[in-house]
């Protein structure tokens, strides 16, 4: 149970930071023992529950604002982004993709992602602050989420945030908001699909549901704290500190594992 709680803690703290929650889970499981894909996906839903609570007023505003052209346009773009993620995600699943069992690809993705963050931040620094969410941006964020799932260590939130920034949404809090809001249906849907898939295969009985529930609750609690902190941080800072952390961690992993 202690190991499950620790994994939930790691998931909650890292899901919304651009440092890859899946990558950190795989690294932790190198020492704590391998968990099922269902476990790794469902505890992410706990963190997404946290962001749902953080953005509850914004979600109500979008859900009840269909008569407002601005709110309707934003909601439709979120829906389009999710649709892209869902379709491409199902294609990846049909192809039989599985999370890697070694740390090396995670370490490489951490380093490459860190370098990419530094380059994007350097580019964004020269741009005017923009808050517009375009259709091209919405599609790109959907694709980026799937790519992050294929390459653990990339970070879903990082991929979504920096895809948004590259496509013109250079206001960091606004880019983070879009990335976090699209993460809500994405991760809940991923959890549901994985659970149903395992149910059809008759594998639910083998899952330690008590540990999974405890880890999910821990993920929700720590995720709430993490996302509140990050939103305050990006209001006045860039993401370079996370790039440095990713590169340092990736180098350490390659050197010692």
Burial of 141 (0-12, 13-18, 19+ CB in 10 A): buried
Q: What pTM was estimated for this model as a whole?
A: 0.86
Asked if pLDDT for residue 3 goes beyond 70, the answer is yes
Q: Are 31 and 10 within 8 A, CB to CB?
A: no
The pLDDT > 90 percentage for the chain reads: 40
pLDDT band per the 50, 70, 90 thresholds, residue 58: very high
For 15-43, what is each residue's pLDDT tens digit? Answer: 888 888 877 887 887 777 777 777 877 78
Span 130-139, average pLDDT:
90
For 140-197, what is each residue's pLDDT tens digit? Answer: 999 999 988 888 778 888 899 999 999 989 899 999 999 999 989 988 887 787 777 7
pLDDT at 99: 66
For 191-216, what is each residue's pLDDT tens digit? Answer: 787 777 767 766 666 677 788 888 89
Asked if pLDDT for residue 114 goes beyond 90, the answer is yes
Q: How many domains does the chain have?
A: 1
Rounded CA separation 124/56 (Å): 29
Question: What tokens appear for 231 in the block?
Answer: 């939103």
Domain span at residue 46 reads 2-256
**Nearest alpha-carbon partner for 81 in 137, 159, 158:** 137
DSSP state letters, 45-69? HHHHHHHHHHTHHHHHHHHS-TTSH
Asked if pLDDT for residue 239 goes beyond 90, the answer is yes
Rounded CA separation 59/85 (Å): 20
pLDDT at 201: 67
Residue 26 C-beta-side C-alpha neighbours within 13 Å: 27
DSSP for residue 107: H
pLDDT at 220: 92
- Measured in degrees and rounded to the nearest 5, phi and psi for residue 123 equal -70, -45
């Amino acid at each position: 149970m202690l190991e499950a709680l620790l994994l939930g803690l790691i998931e909650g703290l890292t899901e919304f930071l651009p440092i890859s929650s899946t990558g950190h889970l795989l690294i932790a499981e190198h020492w704590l023992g391998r968990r099922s894909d269902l476990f790794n996906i469902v505890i992410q839903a706990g963190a997404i529950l946290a962001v749902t609570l953080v953005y509850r007023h914004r979600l109500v505003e979008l859900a009840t604002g269909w008569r407002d052209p601005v709110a309707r346009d934003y909601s439709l773009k979120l829906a389009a982004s999710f649709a892209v993620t869902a379709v491409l995600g199902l294609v990846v699943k049909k192809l039989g993709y599985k999370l890697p069992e070694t740390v090396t690809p995670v370490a490489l993705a951490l380093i490459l992602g860190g370098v990419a963050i530094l380059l994007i931040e350097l580019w964004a620094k020269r741009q005017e602050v923009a808050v517009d969410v375009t259709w091209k941006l919405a599609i790109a964020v959907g694709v980026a989420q799937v790519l992050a799932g294929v390459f653990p260590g990339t970070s879903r939130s990082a991929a979504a945030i920096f895809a948004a920034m590259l496509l013109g949404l250079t206001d960091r809090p606004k880019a983070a908001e879009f990335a976090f809001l699209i993460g809500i249906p994405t991760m809940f849907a991923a959890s549901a699909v994985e659970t149903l898939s395992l149910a059809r295969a008759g594998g639910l009985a083998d899952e330690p549901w008590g540990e999974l529930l405890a880890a999910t609750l821990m993920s929700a609690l720590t995720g709430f704290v993490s996302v509140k902190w990050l939103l305050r941080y990006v209001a006045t800072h860039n993401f370079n500190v996370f790039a440095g952390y990713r590169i340092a961690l990736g180098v350490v992993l390659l050197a010692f594992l």
